[in-house]
Structure 1
């Protein structure tokens, strides 16, 4: 039987679910320092954002300049928020 959902979408979806589970575990009694756990959760959130942008918003097929710009914005936003979180 042919699947209605392409294999690549299934893999990305499973990865997003796994990252969600790991970030939930990181927050719930993991024994990690709160600052480390918070920074990890922010990094996981930006990893998920990148996956959605690349695979579900078709940045894979976008011009290289657009893809690099979006990835640079995500990287700078992630670094800035994690830095701000750790300094607060």
Structure 2
């Protein structure tokens, strides 16, 4: 039995790979801190999307609910990245 043909296993593998990228590759001095932080936020929201779609079965939800979820992920990720880049997320 080929485990990579099962969607849950494949998604789990992608999640683990994304975790390795964010904790190992982006934490090094390979990329600038600002670029790394934006990439980490984007990858985190992609992981949220994968978990909710595949493990919480949102991919089978009614179209309106799924559209709301997809927009929520996009808007919140963009807001967090925007706040970070504008400096308004910095502690006082």
How far apart are 1:77 and its partner, in Å? 0.3
TM-score by length of 1: 0.89
Q: Which residue of 1 aligns with 2:49?
A: 50
Taking structure 2 as the reference length, the TM-score comes to 0.85
CA RMSD of aligned residues (A): 1.7
Structure 1, unpaired ranges of 5+: none
Number of residue pairs the alignment of both structures matches: 85
Supply the distance in 2 between the matched residues of 1:27 and 1:82 (Cα, whole angstroms).
Answer: 17
Which consecutive residues of structure 2, in runs of 5 or more, have no partner in the other structure? 88-92
Q: CA deviation at 1:33?
A: 1.2
Which aligned segments of 4 or more residues in structure 1 are displaced greater than 3 angstroms? none
